[in-house]
Amino acid sequence: MADATATEPKSRAPLTYKESGVDIDAGDEVVDRIKHVLKRTHGPRVMGQHGAFAGMFRLDYNQKLFKRNYRDPVLVGCTDGVGTKVMLAAERRIYDTVGIDCVAMNVNDLIVQGAEPLFFLDYLGLSKLDPEATAKMIEGVAKGCEIAGCALIGGECAEMPDIYKPGDFDIAGFCVGVVELSRVVDAARVKKGDVVIGLRASGVHSNGYSLVRRIVKDAGLDMDRVYPELGGDPLWKVLLEPTRIYAKPITKLLGSYKKKKVVSGMAHITGGGLPGNVSRALGPKVDCVIDTAKWAPNPIFPFLQKHGNVERDEMFRVFNMGIGYTLVVRPSFADAVLEKLTKYGEGACVIGEIVKGSGSVILQEGA
């Protein structure tokens, strides 16, 4: 007969959740640290208490000053992350800029439909919940929300040491907006003769970083070096430049035309570049011809192309190449739209036109 004591557990100190890798107290500290940061993004339509199980947001507000008077509202939602740009941020221990990136990747998609961003929630997956570093990530998200004009009403920090290596993290976000049904931007409205306006990008934004990191590695580039062709910042800082947020200028532009549908299409230039994203704003009977000589790409793009020996077509297929957002507008309003966007602080220029076709984007240099 087997010894019954053989299966009894060995005597040891009581095991805690913290010893398994998850620190509840650190999580509580983060919640307390970010309270004032979230409040900065809140307006009168945000309801509920800090630390509640879910955030609440009123679609309308009764006070005359804030009343929206939606007649036929359509809710618009999207979710996105920052991709492998977080690996560079983790290596450099720069935690706030990717929070801005996370907001940008969501709200820039949302406004393409003509929607006004309402509220945002973030998700952080972490190896270890360091209160100071985690608070900086959320502060970056809050900063992005302030730039975009939306409320940060909640989020989640998940400490998972068995999934993430020490120092690793990931960040994703979720945004909800609203647009009147009659004001939804639809590709069917794009017509032959429309003008394409491009808005300048702040840099690489948040796409193509697997290729960026491969170029850096294969070419033996020094992330701490200041390369003269990139200006006065070290390479790591140039690559971590936050994605530009276009929400407020676009929302303001659309709101300035109460009845006329001046903007017939828009596109956020992310993975796939201009060809892969502008095509999503086109109907099946038109093409978009873009003249790539109309703007100069940010210096980081020829730098990466040279050191990575990347072909031109591949660069335009992967990166934004200096244009982060595009609008298709009626030709008679092109000058007025350009003037408004410039007034709102955007670097805007005409980069192409809509012609008869089959839904494709044609890149020409000096068209």
In the block, residue with structure tokens 């805690």: 16
Q: 20 falls in which pLDDT band (50, 70, 90)?
A: low
pLDDT in tens, 292-343: 999 999 999 999 999 999 999 999 999 999 999 999 999 999 999 999 999 9
Q: 355 falls in which pLDDT band (50, 70, 90)?
A: very high
According to DSSP, the β-strands at 151-159 and 116-126 are parallel
Q: 90 falls in which pLDDT band (50, 70, 90)?
A: very high
Q: How far apart are the first and last CA of the chain?
A: 91
Q: What percent of the chain has pLDDT over 70?
A: 88
pLDDT in tens, 227-245: 999 999 999 999 999 999 9
Contacts of 255 (CB under 8 A, 6+ apart): none
Delineate the domains of the chain, giving CATH numbers in brackets.
20-181 (3.30.1330.10), 187-364 (3.90.650.10)
Angle at 199 (CA atoms; ends 197, 202), nearest 5 degrees: 165
Of 57, 53, 48, give the one whose Cα is nearest residue 75. 57
Task: Kindly report which listed range (63-67, 79-83, 260-264) carries the lowest average pLDDT score.
Answer: 63-67
